[in-house]
Amino acid sequence: MGATAPDSAADEHVGSAVPGVRHETFAVGFHLAAPPSAVFEAFADAPVRSRWFKLPGRHVSYHHDFVLNGGETASSVFTVPGGHPEGLAYESRYLDISPDSRIVYAYTSRVNDVPRWTSLVTVELHPEAGGTHLRWTEQAAFLTPSAEPDHDFPHLRGATRLRLTGLEVALTAAGREDDRPQASG
């Protein structure tokens, strides 16, 4: 009798309760009334970024190191009314940083220490009349579905749009701060 090679794909799921991975990709275009350099700076500057990039909840922690192979970590405790508190955690790593034009990073989101999804994000900044066209492309791998898995992808896409609206608000606030008269010394 001849030996046959084991079917590794079948073997890794025998008796396993590991759910399959669902992949989704989306792109969002967004106009910002600021030049690409200001938009890029809103990603790079930790105090500004922490204003628009937030995890919901309380007991929030945040750290940002905007360099190649650096990254970002954030955590919080979030409670839906009538629900149990959930520990949220985010961790990213910058893979490509091209000043004023492109940022590429990978991140993982966890809920109660369980990795829910991981994504590759490409942010492209293109000058256009009156500001910048930002194109956000995200390729997500959903590792652990929520109790309502059909809501996972729309939730991610919606959260991205909310963050970009927050970015717009942070840029508007930064523009107002730049317009204030400077004190002379």
pLDDT in tens, 7-46: 444 444 445 667 789 999 999 999 999 999 999 999 999 9
**How crowded is the C-beta side of 16, counted as CA atoms within 13 Å?**
9
Q: Is the pLDDT of residue 137 over 60?
A: yes
Q: Is the pLDDT of residue 53 over 60?
A: yes
Highest mean pLDDT pick, 8-12, 58-62, 87-91: 87-91
pTM to 2 decimals? Answer: 0.82
Report the percentage of the chain scoring pLDDT > 70: 84
CA distances from 122 to 4, 68, 94, 95, 96 (A): 43, 14, 10, 10, 9
Q: How many Å apart are CA 160 and CA 150, to the nearest integer?
A: 17
pLDDT at 176: 60
Q: Is the pLDDT of residue 179 over 70?
A: no
DSSP the chain: -------HHHHTTTT--PPPPEEEEEEEEEEESS-HHHHHHHHH-HHHHHHHS--SSEEEEEEE--STT-EEEEEEEEE-TTS-EEEEEEEEEEEEEETTTEEEEEEEEEETTEEEEEEEEEEEEEEETTEEEEEEEEEEEE-S--SSGGGHHHHHHHHHHHHHHHHHHHHHHHHHHHHSPPPP-
Q: How many Å apart are CA 110 and CA 152, to the nearest integer?
A: 13
